[in-house]
Chains A and B, each alone.
Chain A
């Protein structure tokens, strides 16, 4: 099977790392060769972050190159645009319609741009979801990341994998059912 590339992007602290971890464990269990790459350290402190997941019968580079992603999943609105260069022109964007102002906006050196969603929709196949609202409706805004995982799984046709099992094995018992609900809500949102 040809290698598939999933690019998860967001802001440090949004939980992209947990989402990509669950994703890779599911893919491994399904028998794929899997590679995942992410950058830790300084950029995690509120900076722009990415987790890159690649799977297939034989994966070479753990890094997704420009124009190489089958799907771009952005946990924050403007981050989708920042990483859009990494999407194949025929690829799909899932964007969380949620804004986190970067420091230049906070300090007044820049304004958070308007019309980002429209710009995305003009050039790419975009599904916008309000994962923050979905997570909040489930009672915990922090499960936004697992809502987005559900959206990825549905979009990439990976629904055959036993995801509730993967979630149960890898999140704290007390949060397992909440996360499974979040995952299912994400599947239904796309």
Chain B
């Protein structure tokens, strides 16, 4: 049967068809939908793990117990999971295990553009790179087979466009692999130096066998057309190159890209006149081809960053894109992403942004948008959990320097559970003085509302214990812990006033649900009437001072002709932040129509 699926959906389907029993992930664009789709299958135990390391380790455990398992993550997530990755590569698997890395050429929703193909090489893992959704499904199935046949986890490397593009897929039934009875294998799974040394040597012979496999697999294929031009490519770059060269070039399309099929590559490179390597991010294929003694045109011509979409290729090759219209581009104003109307981060950032002599260490999530105007209330954002530990280091440094700069560290609930929890433990243990703020919006927001250890529900929608962040902080030994409503500006202000004077670590939890969240029954009890109101501007009272524009709310704009603030009645959710900023009390609740 044919279906139109995204790459993420096709990976989930492929895993299900392969008989996968266990799946774990931490949400991260563009990989999130893999686990979301797997959680819909009754036969699959699918879990949101607090972070990628835990996800991969859970999958490894399930594999040892004998079932097929999958762990999915975004590219930077694999950094978190790198510790188990490198040694799991040595032990190999019980049930077949696939690790999905979703890279982000172009950095649409990420803090960097790392090329995780390098991880395959570094961790000595076979790697597959699908070019469309059909290949996502077929390669996922092949990955489980390779994993069991060669006794190694397999890396499935995707990119944003592969994950989030839809194309036609032929789906099939689910087939369970033969059950593997569990038995203790100390020399295989207990990586003491004595055992690991043998496994290390075994890994090399595995890679030799995998290279033979790479030479023969139909996923590494040559398409000969005009031999004057040859293109070596993998993933979506194959289709981008086809778009530009059509049948005026021959292609070596690589789908199994570690270890590389050196003989196949050498044969292709020898048989074409002009040789291009088209790949996103690092010159991964190009360097390997150079090692074989060929001199392809690659990163000397094509950009080292961003996506290699057809227009990028055309510009590099011919100096211009397809013809376009010319028009007055000055009429286009930038439209950066913003905190949504009703976002519970707004009130907190409004108050925090007004503080002077404060360093604000930030983190990964919607609240990174606190760095944008009008708040501009963030000094750093590096990786998940870093806000609390960077804030600790900075506070210690200011202390050593005798500076009176205060430090506020800001992260979300899911990011707290991810790795921030370790950082908070450090701050309590080593006695820093930064104010640790958890913006608890009751869900993992940026990636599209996934449950987490604090939300009270699992990936399967089953009810579970909701961890209380305040309890965690107190258990760590932190004495000053306060939970506030971020929409209550006075409460936020007074709490910041008090906590910024402390000489010991403290925790503020702002607790209010994401404006886009589908409420649970607990939410309805805890936040009755939330988002049910709309505000309106009393035009007689409004003096056009524009102070409310500092709320940075997309539902609030300024009518420059009438010189009055205007509330967009469709977008407004009645959080009330702007009405507390207004010095004239001109913004109030709209009477129900």
Check if A43 is an interface residue, CB within 8 A of chain B.
Answer: yes
Known: A41-B30, A65-B314. Is A60-B4 also a contact (CB below 8 A)? no
Expressed in whole angstroms, the Cα–Cα distance for A11 and B568 within the complex equals 15
Given contacts A43-B337, A107-B374, A113-B333, contact A63 B240 (CB under 8 A): yes
**Stretch with Cβ within 8 A of A (4 or more), from B79-87, B91-99, B165-173, B581-589:** B165-173
Query: With A40-B109, A111-B560 known to touch, is A66 a contact of B324 (CB < 8 Å)?
Result: yes
Q: Which residues of B contact A82 (CB under 8 A)?
A: 332, 335
Say yes or no: B4 contacts A123, CB within 8 Å: no
Distance between B430 CB and nearest chain A CB, rounded to angstroms: 33
Contact with A along B224-239 (1 / 0, CB 8 A): 0000000000001001
Distance (Å) between the CB of B560 and the closest chain A CB? 7
Contacting residue for A63 out of B161, B166, B368, CB 8 A: B161
B326 A123 Cβ-Cβ under 8 A: yes
Tell me the complex Cα distance, A105–B324, Å.
Answer: 28
Q: Is the CB of A89 within 8 A of B333?
A: no
Q: Residues of A contacting B331 with CB < 8 Å?
A: 78, 81, 113, 115-116, 119
Question: Counting CB contacts under 8 A, is A157 at the interface?
Answer: no
A137 beta carbon closer than 8 Å to chain B: no
Interface residue ranges of B325-353 to A (CB < 8 Å)? 325-340
Query: B4–A62 contact, CB under 8 A?
Result: no
Q: How many residues of B contact A (CB 8 A)?
A: 64
A60 contacts B337, CB within 8 Å? Answer: no
Tell me whether B358 is interfacial, beta carbon within 8 Å.
Answer: no
Q: Compute how far the CA of A36 lies from the CA of B333 in the bound complex, rounded to whole angstroms.
A: 27
Give Cα distance in the complex from A185 to B132, angstroms: 35
Indicate with 1 or 0, residue by residue over A78-90, a CB within 8 angstroms of chain B CB atoms: 1101101111110
Contact B168–A47 (Cβ < 8 Å): no
> Smallest CB–CB gap between B257 and chain A, Å?
20
Cα distance A24–B84 in the bound complex, in angstroms: 41
A68 touches B325 (CB 8 A): no
Known: A41-B109, A60-B243. A107 touches B373 (CB 8 A): yes
Please, which residues of chain A bring their CB within 8 A of the CB of B556? 106
Contact of B373 among A38, A109, A124 (CB under 8 A): A109
Other-chain residue from A25, A34, A45 in contact with B340 (beta carbon distance below 8 A): A45
Question: 1/0 per position for B542-554, CB-CB distance to A under 8 A?
Answer: 0000100110111
Is A42 located at the chain interface by the 8 A CB criterion?
yes
**Interface presence of A28 (CB below 8 A):** yes
Query: Is A48 close to B, CB under 8 A?
Result: yes
Contact pattern, A 100-136, Cβ under 8 Å of B = 1, otherwise 0 = 1111111111111101100110111000000000000
Tell me whether A106 and B333 are in contact (CB under 8 A). Answer: no
Determine if A39 and B108 form an interchain contact, defined as CB atoms under 8 angstroms apart. Answer: yes
Smallest CB separation, B132 vs chain A (Å): 8
Pairwise interchain contact A45-B311, C-beta atoms closer than 8 A: no
In the complex with contacts A40-B164, A67-B311, A45-B366 CB distance below 8 A: yes
Query: In the complex, are the beta carbons of A47 and B335 less than 8 A apart?
Result: yes
Q: Is A44 an interface residue (CB 8 A)?
A: yes
Category for how many chain A residues contact B: 35 or more
Bound-state Cα–Cα, A124 to B4, Å: 33
**Once the chains are docked, how many angstroms separate the CA of A168 from the CA of B556?**
35
Chain A's closest residue to B32 (CB) is A40
A139 on interface, CB distance cutoff 8 Å? no
Which of A42, A84, A105, A110 sits near B327, CB closer than 8 Å?
A84
Across the interface, do A24 and B4 meet the contact criterion of CB distance under 8 Å? Answer: yes
Chain A residues within 8 Å of B549, by CB: 106-108
From A87, A102, A119, A122, contact of B324 by CB (8 A): A87
CB atoms of A106 and B554 under 8 A apart: yes
B322 adjacent to A65 (CB under 8 Å): yes
A12 within 8 A of B: yes
Query: Known contacts A107-B552, A111-B560, A141-B570: does B333 contact A78 (CB below 8 Å)?
Result: yes
Minimum CB–CB distance for B561 against chain A, Å: 11
Chain B residues with Cβ under 8 A from A115's Cβ?
331
- Report the minimum CB–CB distance from B28 to chain A (whole Å): 9
Contacts of B329 in A (CB 8 A): 81
Is the pair A28, B338 in contact by a Cβ cutoff of 8 Å? no
Q: Given A33-B168, A34-B167, list of 6 further CB < 8 A pairs? A: A35-B166, A35-B167, A45-B337, A61-B310, A62-B132, A103-B338
